[in-house]
Homo-oligomer: A and B are copies of this chain.
Amino acid sequence: MSHNTFGHLFRVTTWGESHGPALGCVIDGCPPGIRFTLPELQAWLDKRKPGQSRFVTQRREDDLVKVLSGVMLDADGETLITTGTPVSMMIENTDQRSKDYSEIAKSYRPGHADYTYDVKYGIRDYRGGGRSSARETAARVAAGGLARKVVPGLLVRGALVQIGKHKINRNNWDWNEVGNNPFFCPDPAMVPVWEGYLDSIRKAGSSVGAVVEVIAEGVPAGIGAPIYAKLDQDIASSLMSINAVKGVEIGNGFGAAEITGEENADEMRMGNDGNPIFLSNHAGGILGGISTGQPVIARFAIKPTSSILTERQSIDSDGKNVDIRTKGRHDPCVGIRAVPIGEAMLACTIADHYLRDRGQTGRLK
């Protein structure tokens, strides 16, 4: 029962706003003996950080992560080893420009949580979006960096598969391409299309939505549970907890609604090595809430950034009608930076279920 925690055995609590001194997370329940280095961890944060191309916000944040507890330094002077106690990570906020917030302090920006915060809490940290700031996700990415180490052999990767109406051609999918463009796009043919389209969006002070796909390989068969701890359910919850996400699907997702049982069945044969082989993966690696051993595949839809330059009608906290434009350094497509965030959430969810399965069944090492 936590508003700012996710996971059960691999349990992540995040805290902080973009305009306070720092933000961070506490990871409770991490197994002891997990080895990692700060540069490894930082690399994940660097994937998410703003200012890396003209297609994302130009804010400059170093997003340097510090590990404050729960580790010992190995004899090599570099490797950190988890001790089984809470791992506290902190990222200090450095780019807090002094700014005039007087307008948005009172006005409710359409599509933002301004109105709902005020109704709920009666008080709102209007500086930089408060808890809803995209900066909060830096803490998730840090946690994900550790989660990736918890499950032996786990590989979690993500890619952007759609911006606006422009979808990639899945036949062109090339993981090596993902790091070669500013979009985490796996289809080289789509990169120039997105470049042109997003430039026009950006120049118009507009924004657009996107779809991210995240895939986990090396997930052992058998994690998850049949009912209210389904692996797909917890993935849906994790991904939907990312700001601006409006939809989540597993495997063929909404496409499953359109097909027949014959088309949807993932048939099986025994492999030569004595392991089962699935002849397809419509299920996205999960049957009855439990992993099959195939890649776990999820997609999520991100709405367009609500901060746009076009004037929109709204009200303020005094109940007056106002017209509002959101100036500032915003992402024309927040979906781009959502890729490493989605990866992190998927990694944390799988790590959690790995430990939960180990607790109940004891079959995994």
Contacts and interface: CB of A to CB of B under 8 A. Distances in A.
Contacts of A121: 32-33, 83-84, 361
30 contacts: A1-B1, A3-B227, A3-B356, A5-B11, A13-B28, A23-B68, A72-B125, A83-B124, A84-B360, A85-B125, A108-B268, A112-B287, A113-B226, A113-B289, A116-B288, A119-B222, A201-B260, A208-B261, A233-B237, A234-B237, A236-B248, A243-B288, A255-B301, A260-B304, A267-B312, A267-B313, A268-B313, A270-B320, A276-B319, A282-B303
A70 interface: yes
A8 B249 CA distance: 24
Interface in A2-45: 2-6, 8-9, 11, 13-17, 20-24, 26, 28-33
A306 interface: yes
Nearest to A277: B315
Interface in A27-77: 28-33, 66, 68-70, 72
Interface string A247-267: 111111111111111111111
B16 A88 contact: yes
A355 B363 contact: no
Contact of A32 (B201, B230, B355, B361): B361
Given A86-B4, A110-B265, A247-B253, A164 B259 contact: yes
Given A68-B22, A111-B261, A115-B292, A236 B228 contact: no
A229 B85 CA distance: 12
A190 B72 CA distance: 45
Given A69-B17, A122-B32, A257-B210, A241 B230 contact: yes
A29 B2 contact: yes
Interface string A153-185: 000000000111100000000000000000000
Contacts of A211: 254, 257
B241 A321 contact: no
A347 interface: no
Contacts of A314: 267-268
A355 B72 CA distance: 26
A40 B101 CA distance: 29
A164 B258 contact: yes
A159 B157 CA distance: 36
Interface residues on A, range: 35 or more
Contact of A14 (B227, B257, B292, B307): B227
A259 B208 contact: yes
Interface centre among A132, A201, A221, A284 (most CB of B within 10 A): A132
A84 B119 CA distance: 12
A130 interface: yes
B247 A357 contact: no
Given A85-B226, A211-B254, A270-B315, 6 more contacts: A4-B85, A84-B360, A111-B261, A120-B363, A261-B307, A265-B312
Interface string A198-237: 0001000011111100000000011111111110111011
A88 to B, nearest CB: 4
Which of A111, A211, A305, A335 has the most chain B CB within a 10 Å cutoff?
Answer: A111
Query: Top 5 nearest A-B pairs by Cβ distance?
Result: A113-B288, A359-B359, A247-B249, A1-B1, A116-B290
A276 B206 CA distance: 25
